[in-house]
Amino acid sequence: MNSGNDLDPDDVMVDPHEWPRFDRPSYSARSRDWDRIGASLFVLWLVPTTIQALQLGHPAVLVLGLTVLYAASYLTVWWRAHSWPPAGRIALVCVLFGVGLGCVAVTTPAGSLSVLGYALSAAIILLPLAWSQWVGLVCVAGAALATWWHDGQVDAEATLILALIAVITLGLSRSARLVGKLHQARGEVRTLAVAGERARLARDLHDVLGHSLTTITVKTALARRLLERDAPKDRVLEEIRDTEDLSRRALADIRSTVSGQRRMSLAVELVSARAALRAAGIEADLPHAVDDVLAGLEEPLAYVLREGVTNVVRHSGAHRCTVRLGARWLEVRDDGPSPVGSGSAGAGGSPGNGLAGLTERLAAVHGTLTAGPLSTGGYRLRAEVPE
């Protein structure tokens, strides 16, 4: 199936063994009523045959009774049987063929086997396509064989009428069922699109708010400690101004995230990482340039850097954080004693939302993410995109 809301009809299959449904949302009550009225008008085709049979002296009670019963059974297909279970539909089709054959018998020679077109169309409408095809084939072949056995020659007119009814009704029935499948698939696509957008917002807001609020918290705590130590006023004001700027940037990031227009910059994230680590009292060993990073990988690696540094500040208890960068990879290391470190594990040590979000982002560029403690102490988070 195509992405977005584009649907290829070739990708939407109609199950030939599926019982047809008539409750698709796109099929309004007004459209259904007009279809019923149009189909009901076809019962007028029985009137000339009935009148001619009465003029030929056939029993009026029998002719009128079977004709009315046949017409009523056919109308039931359109006005009631659409909500019936399979057993009821099969029974109605059997009744239609039985009464239809009775009508042919009592109206001969005025009537012909073409009257079975009502029963044939009803079978195609109510039954699965696999069954309908066989019913159509048997009906057309049976009409040809019956007239050949009875009259010595095939009734070409009746056989052709039944064949046309079978072909046209099968085509219309399959098209109607395909339209229903397409509408169902479109609804599923919309549901998946909404779920995907919610997942994107949750992932992006986690990345934005997690880093920004962590940095704001650290810098606010630093400003408080400076005030408690009676540090110079200019030094305290510098931290407060930085916190104010961070708040404004976080608000702008949230707005751009919600609108889907936010783009990450690896160079900007390096600057933010240096400020966050400095405010937390962690020595930062960071690259000075991002020129070697391949085009298209800067944004996912920027997310890795942000998440890794955020978790070093929040969880690791480290004194030093080292970031190394290559054309296709980025690595964040710390020397903290915490087993969680820059991995941001969730409850029970399982990966949290941060690592899960990074894994999804890297999967989009066929990259991998590894995170875990180092044998020499500390923690390492590494993202790599193979060639």
Q: Which of 73-77, 105-109, 251-255, 331-335 has the highest mean pLDDT?
A: 331-335
* 218 vs 148, more confident: 148
Q: Which H/E stretch holds residue 209? A: helix 156-228
pLDDT value at residue 88: 92
Confidence tier at 145 by pLDDT (50, 70, 90) = very high
pLDDT value at residue 37: 81
Task: Read off the pLDDT of residues 22-42 as tens digits, 9 standing for 90 and up.
Answer: 765 555 556 667 777 877 788
pLDDT value at residue 382: 93
pLDDT value at residue 348: 35
DSSP 181-199: HHHHHHHHHHHHHHHHHHH
Q: Which residue from 373, 347, 346, 349 is spatially nearest to 357, judged by alpha carbons?
A: 346
pLDDT value at residue 43: 82
pLDDT value at residue 205: 67
Tokens of 269: 């994230």
Rounded Cα–Cα distance for residues 363 and 345 (Å): 19
**Per-residue pLDDT averaged across 187-191, rounded?**
76
Amino acid type, 200:
R
Confidence tier at 95 by pLDDT (50, 70, 90) = very high
Q: Which residue from 139, 52, 129 is spatially nearest to 101, judged by alpha carbons?
A: 139
Task: Give yes or no for a cis peptide into 351 (omega within 30° of 0).
Answer: no
- Is the pLDDT score of 373 beyond 50? yes
> Phi first, then psi: what are they for 87, rounded to 5°?
-60, -40
Q: Which residue from 116, 97, 95 is spatially nearest to 49, judged by alpha carbons?
A: 116
- Is the pLDDT score of 1 beyond 60? no
Mean pLDDT, rounded, of the chain? 80
Q: Which residue from 220, 131, 223 is spatially nearest to 170, judged by alpha carbons?
A: 131
Radius of gyration of the chain (CA): 37
pLDDT value at residue 260: 57
Q: Which H/E stretch holds residue 266? A: helix 266-279
- Is the pLDDT score of 2 beyond 60? no
pLDDT value at residue 134: 92
Q: What are the beta bridge partners of residue 384?
A: 329, 368
Q: Which residue from 140, 105, 136, 113 is spatially nearest to 123, judged by alpha carbons?
A: 136
Instruction: Specify the residue for token string 């159509």.
Output: 136
Task: Read off the pLDDT of residues 310-348 as tens digits, 9 standing for 90 and up.
Answer: 888 887 888 999 999 999 999 999 998 855 444 444 433
Rounded Cα–Cα distance for residues 290 and 191 (Å): 39
Q: Which residue from 350, 268, 361 is spatially nearest to 309, judged by alpha carbons?
A: 268
- Asked if 122 and 89 count as a contact pair (C-beta separation under 8 A), the reply is no
Task: Read off the pLDDT of residues 216-240 as tens digits, 9 standing for 90 and up.
Answer: 887 788 788 888 888 888 878 887 8
- Which domains does the chain possess? 12-189 (no CATH), 283-387 (3.30.565.10)
**Per-residue pLDDT averaged across 45-70, rounded?**
87
* 30 vs 146, more confident: 146
pLDDT value at residue 209: 67
pLDDT value at residue 211: 66
Q: What three-state secondary structure class fits 215?
A: helix
pLDDT value at residue 258: 62
pLDDT value at residue 208: 66
Q: Which of 165-169, 193-197, 240-244, 354-358 has the lowest mean pLDDT?
A: 193-197
Task: Read off the pLDDT of residues 272-313 as tens digits, 9 standing for 90 and up.
Answer: 888 888 888 889 999 988 888 888 888 889 889 988 998 888
pLDDT value at residue 261: 57
pLDDT value at residue 220: 84
pLDDT value at residue 13: 67
